[in-house]
Each structure stands twice: as C-alpha cells, then as structure tokens.
Structure 1
Amino acid sequence: MPQTRPTTLSADAVRDVAVLAAKRAAEAETARQLTPDVVGLVIEAGFARHFVPARWGGAAGGFRPLLDAVAELGESCTSTAWFASLAAGVGRLAAHLPPEGRHDLWHEGPDTVVVGALAPSGRAERVPGGWRVRGEWPYVSGVAYSEWALVCALAVTGEKREPRFFAVPRGDYGIADTWFNTGMRATGSNTLTLDDVIVPESRSVPLADLLAGPAEGAEAPCHRVPMKAANGLTLTAPLLGAARGALRHWAALTARRLAGPAAAITGAPERIPYELVLARSEGETDAAGLLLERVASVLDAGGADPVLTARNGRDCALAAELLAGAVDRLMRSSGSRGQSESDEMQRFWRDVVSGSGHSGLQFPAVASAHVRQSAALEVS
C-alpha cells in the first residue's frame, strides 16, 4: 500500500525549498542540474504527489495551489520551480495510464519522480503483449533524478499510426549529456534514449485520451481536464515567479535612484525613468499573474470545453510574452551590476527569455486555435 504522508503543499515546506534553492542556484547552474538536496526537498514538499490520484496516496490537488507554490520557488530559482512544476504536471498525465500501469508507478508511494518527453520523437511497433519502443527525446528536464519517464512515440500497427505515451522505468532508458543552453541551465534537460525496449500494454495510453480530458475512473477535478488546457500553466508558473524575483532584485539594485528627488524640481539625477520601468514591468507581471489565476480557476472547476481549452492556451502564451517583456526591460535598465555574471538579475533574465521560448508557449499557434474556436462558437 502507498505510504502515508502529508498530501498538501504547505507554506512552510515550499518556503524551505525556496530558501535552499536560492543558496544552491549558482552551484546548480555550474553543474547544469539541480543539487540533490534541493531535489529531495522538492519531493518532500509534495510536488511529485500533487496530482497523483488519492487511490495511490496522492493529493489529487488543485491548480491554483500549484501555481502559487511554483511561483514562490521561481522567485528564488527558476530551474527549481520548473522541475517542481513538471514533476507535478507529468504525474497528472501519468494518471491516464491503465490501472495496472498506475500500480507500477505508485504502488510503493506517490512520490515517484516521473519526467516527460511529450514530443513524438520515438517509434513504437506492436509486439505480443505490448510495444517495442525506441528513439531519442531531447530536452527532458530533470531526467537525471527521474525514476520513471512518460515518453511519446508514433505507434505503428499495420497501416494504423497514432501517437501514444509509454511509461518506462529508469533502468530501461539512457541519458545523453546534451543540455548546454543559455537559460534554465540547472534544469538538466538532457536527452533520454530508448533502444528497442519492450513496454507492456498496461503502461501505454493514446495521446488522444490525454487530449480528450478525463482519465479512466477520474474522480478529482484535476484528472478531468484536457492536456492542452493545463500544460501551459505548468510551463508559465515558474516564469511568473522569476519575473517577481527579478522585480524585487531590480528594485534593490536601483533603490538609490528611486529614492532620489525628481530632476524637474532639484536638478538631481532623474528618477522618473526608473519609476516608469518599475511601474510598467510590475504592471505587466501583475497582468500575467491574473491571466494565470484565471487559467487555474478554469482547471479547478473540473473541465474545459474546446473554447476554454483554447483560451487557456492563449492566456498562458500571452502571459509568457508579458513576463519576458517585463524582465527584458528590467535587465536593460539594471546597468552593469545587473549584467554581471555573478548577479541574480542576468540569471532571471536568461531564464525567463529561455522559458518563454518553449514550443508550448508560442503565441501564433495558440492565438489561431483560440480565434477558430471562438468563431465556431459564434457560428453555432
């Protein structure tokens, strides 16, 4: 039976992760992956179990609590927040596996670290009792600390071809050291490899099932929403926290200028340009936060029709654009101190710009989907 532990993301536990993550941020960047003690606290705080079904000892939790917790971590370290957010989000996707597959993942407890490779980069062929899967999946965040992986491959059965997800244990996949990106350095988003691994049918589910929404036997609201309605929030929540962290740090860097008198009155160094930077960047960050809160409220209601699913995607991509713009403005006005390699400002800037460039947060595609769905509703 699953072990019994607290199932909620307590404020104290999240704060402990944030404090340690801030201390380890520079070390983690150099290593290009999070430190083991930070990962341990993330799991202990309950992020991996947050969306695990209650049947397996999980919290079957809400999206708003996750948004708030992940954003708090992002104020200290974007990479830690990213790992925590994906640890929760991929666990939610794994709840769509058949009952036997869920048992394989969580029969010893709900804190299993499951990473996701959501692009159909592999190939699967039908064999007796299951599938033979092979391929390479780049950009799998946190893979070094994973116990299972949920990978997407193009499954071939005769003339039929469909994307399917396959759950594979750590002993079945390799890791290639390929993550050398400018931003989100500590996410350890390396390449996962599979070489003709046999995956039983019980550990496989069609992508179409995740896109449709309700998991088999779904009881909690979090297990009844379509993948595309929720995944954007998982990606954007860390960036919201990072933008808030950048605002706080920028205000400290420019405190002397902000506190000075206005040039029009005294002829002293002008503070007005810095006030404008702060007001606009803070306003854009607040606006992004409000958009994401609305996304979370739709998801916590337990369902999202095609129109709301499309709107959620638009809102998350728009929020990412707002956050990237806000942090870029802060960076450009932070002076040489903010651009120093040892300063937090440039790390927040690299992380938000990098994270907002994720394929799942590109505005053109989700904008088109939203407009098409809205037009279809008006016609009907």
Structure 2
Amino acid sequence: MLSDLGKTLDIAREDRLLLDETCRLTERLADSVVDNGFARHFVPERWNGGAGTFTALLDAVSELAETCASTAWCAALYAAHGRLAGYLPEAGQREIWCEGPDVRVAASVVPPQGSAVRTDGGWRLTGRWATASGVDQAEWMLLASWAALDDDPAGETREHRIFAVRRQEMKVLHTWRPVGLRGTGSNTVEGDVLVPDHLTFTLGDLGRVQPHAARCHAVPFALVASLVFAAPVLGAAEGALRTWWETQIRRARPDGGTAVQPLVLARASAHIQAARLLLERVAQRGDHAPVTPVLVAENQRDVAVAVELCGTAVDELFRTAGLRALEEDDALQRHWRDITAARTHGTLDFGSAASGYASALLAARAGEETR
C-alpha cells in the first residue's frame, strides 16, 4: 500500500506553503499519510497491521520526500512509532489498536525528559517533552522519562522508561519555528498524567524478541533507528538534484547552449546514488541479515555516511544554483533547508557512529582472541 502515493504527493504539492506558514501538517495531508498505510506499516499483524519491511518504508518515504521532506518525516515517524508501540504489554497494544491499526503515534523518547514516579498500579508522569513530530494530528504519544527501578524506590538507579499517553491528555505548546522541516510540527508537549502499567515499557525491552514476532519486531532498536531519519534526507537530496538539473537545462547561454555544470552534476549525482545504495543495504540488513553487534554498528556507520553524502551534494547544488535559489519559495532552497535541519538529529551524527563502529570491531576482535 505504501507504493500508491499519488494522492498524498498531490496534496503535499498543493499544501507546501501552508506547511511553512503554520509549521505543521495540514489535516488533509495527515489523513492522506494514514490512508497510504504509514501508520499501520509496522503494527503487529494480530491488530491487522502490516508488520512491514524496512525496505518498503525507505522506498516510500524517500519518494514522498522528493516532494515534501516534512510530510515524509512525519510519515516515517508514524510508522516507526507504531513499531515501538508494539513492545507494550498486550493489554496496552489492545488499548491503542482496538478500533483498528491506523493510529497516528507521535513520540519524544530520546533523551528522557520529565519525571516518572511509581504509584499503585502505574506511574505518575509529569513534565515537558520537546520535538514531538506530527503531534498535532496524533492520537497517542510515546514519552520517555528516567524512572527508579522497582527494587530501588530511593531512585539511586534508574531506567529509561517509555510511556504511552493519549495525546488529548497533553497540552501542545507550539514552539516549532525552525529554518527547515517546518511542516513537521515537532512541537513541545507538557502534562501531568497517571499511566497504568500496561501502557509502559523500557528502552531495554526494544531488544526483546517477541514470540512469533515478524522480523520488524525481532531486530534491536539500534539496528534500524537512524534509517527512519535518513530516508527523508535521501528523498530530499534526490528532489534537490532533479530541481537543480531542470533549472540548469533551462538556463540558456549567449551562444544558444545551456549552462550545465558537468563537474557539479557528476559529483552530486554520484554522491546521492551512493547514499541510496548504502541506505538500501541498511534496510535489507534490517529485513534479512543475522544480527550481530558489528552489523548494528555498520548500519549506524552507513546511515551517517549516506546522510553526509547527501548533505555535501546538496550544499554544492545550492551553492551553484544562482540567485534564483535565494528566493524564499525556491524548491531547491526548500530541500537544502530541510536537509540542513535533518542533519542536526543526534541519530545521524557521524562522529558517534564512527566511535561505535570502531568499538564494535575491537570488541569482536577481543572476543575472537579469547576463544
């Protein structure tokens, strides 16, 4: 179902200026994302969800991001958060999806914010959580906080705990006015709610293999988490390249030729194609490969490199596009702003990925030497 994006792409084109003005998705665009199957993509099959693949999500999100990275970002996260909600206890899953799998779930899970205090049968969750993308149109939220372990009420040892809360129980603060990804509506929420035990799980639970689970629920969070944020970057880069090329071939020289810049074209297109190959391999590993710590680190490395390749390519495209690209409504500028904003996300940091990759290789080597 994710492949049939025609209507959503048409709405995204029509509503792009509204997204920039209001800093959120329009209601009809958010509804169309659901109609396309993004919210249900990773929902477990027992709730009539898709239990889909990472490859299919990469393809659909990148295609959508060629037109609107903000829409693609929210679509990717609605899918990803449906996957995370699948780690709730069964009673919690039933509460979220009892009426069907097409439920939009927003989240703010890294880093933990607010406070969580144990109560009878649940938790009191209080505080403020930033950058919850797509929250205005969400029905549920996943919010993370540090929480004391059950056997340590003094709170000297803590765990990263995630809580599912109905969005209507939280107040949305419209704090999102960024330079790029404006339409994601990544606003702040605040509240003071009681959360029963069946609507919470820990970050450690994301590595738990569920009985009879589909592949998408049987891989560790770290293996695929960054791919969700890289997919919109890839599509935006492909959209930027197409926009730049179309402008170049229309630009006439005095001798009647065109102003195509072959070095820029060749380098940028190669970088973006290389990024796609890297991200396709990341998705295929998520769908099929035996999981090891080194594989997790390789995925994180490849995602970070792919995003760097896209960013470098689009920086050069923007720099060589001429004065037209400086206009506020220019499509290339929009792609450049969106990619620039996306690259600040912590999961896409190359330095962290590089350190993790080196550590994983050293640990694997040490393990081999002790055998």
Q: How many angstroms does 1:322 deviate by? A: 0.9
Structure 1 contact 225–303 (Cα < 8 Å) conserved: no
What's 1:186 paired with? Answer: 183
Structure 1 contact 253–338 (Cα < 8 Å) conserved: no
Structure 1 contact 166–203 (Cα < 8 Å) conserved: yes
Structure 1 contact 183–354 (Cα < 8 Å) conserved: yes
Rounded to whole Å, the distance in 2 between the matches of 1:288 and 1:28 is 27
The code of the aligned residue for 1:115 comes to A
What's 1:122 paired with? Answer: 114
Among candidates 21, 29, 36, match of residue 30 of structure 1: 21
Structure 1 contact 115–143 (Cα < 8 Å) conserved: yes
The code of the aligned residue for 1:43 comes to V
What's 2:69 paired with? Answer: 78
Rounded to whole Å, the distance in 2 between the matches of 1:268 and 1:15 is 37
Among candidates 224, 241, 247, match of residue 247 of structure 1: 241
Aligned partner of residue 58 in structure 1, secondary structure? coil
What's 1:144 paired with? Answer: 136
What's 2:195 paired with? Answer: 199
What's 2:332 paired with? Answer: 345
Structure 2 contact 39–75 (Cα < 8 Å) conserved: yes
Rounded to whole Å, the distance in 2 between the matches of 1:287 and 1:311 is 16
Tell me which moved more, 369-378 or 104-113. Answer: 369-378
Gaps of 5+ in 1: 1-7, 262-266
TM-score (norm 2): 0.94
Structure 1 contact 221–303 (Cα < 8 Å) conserved: no
Among candidates 91, 104, 111, match of residue 113 of structure 1: 104
Rounded to whole Å, the distance in 1 between the matches of 2:269 and 2:6 is 23
**What does residue range 1-380 of structure 1 map to in structure 2 within 5 Å?**
8-9=1-2, 11-12=3-4, 14-119=5-110, 120-157=112-149, 158=153, 159=155, 160-195=157-192, 197-210=193-206, 212-214=207-209, 216-257=210-251, 271=259, 274-301=261-288, 304-379=291-366, 380=368
Rounded to whole Å, the distance in 1 between the matches of 2:326 and 2:208 is 44
Structure 2 contact 250–258 (Cα < 8 Å) conserved: no
Rounded to whole Å, the distance in 2 between the matches of 1:276 and 1:213 is 48
Which stretches of structure 1, 4 residues or more, deviate above 6 A after TM superposition? 267-270
Rounded to whole Å, the distance in 1 between the matches of 2:263 and 2:289 is 40
Gaps of 5+ in 2: none
Rounded to whole Å, the distance in 1 between the matches of 2:28 and 2:319 is 34
Aligned partner of residue 121 in structure 1, secondary structure? coil
Structure 1 contact 224–302 (Cα < 8 Å) conserved: no
The code of the aligned residue for 1:295 comes to V
Q: How many angstroms does 1:252 deviate by? A: 1.2
Aligned partner of residue 133 in structure 1, secondary structure? strand
Rounded to whole Å, the distance in 2 between the matches of 1:21 and 1:297 is 28
The code of the aligned residue for 1:171 comes to Q
Q: How many angstroms does 1:378 deviate by? A: 2.1
TM-score (norm 1): 0.92
Structure 1 contact 75–245 (Cα < 8 Å) conserved: yes
Q: How many angstroms does 1:270 deviate by? A: 8.4
The code of the aligned residue for 1:292 comes to L
The code of the aligned residue for 2:116 comes to A
CA RMSD of aligned residues (A): 1.7
In the TM superposition, what whole-angstrom CA distance separates every residue of 1:64-116 from its partner, at most 9, and x where no partner exists? 01100000100000000001000000110110111011001101000010011
Rounded to whole Å, the distance in 1 between the matches of 2:343 and 2:138 is 24
Q: How many angstroms does 1:260 deviate by? A: 6.3
Tell me which moved more, 151-160 or 346-355. Answer: 151-160
The code of the aligned residue for 2:179 comes to T
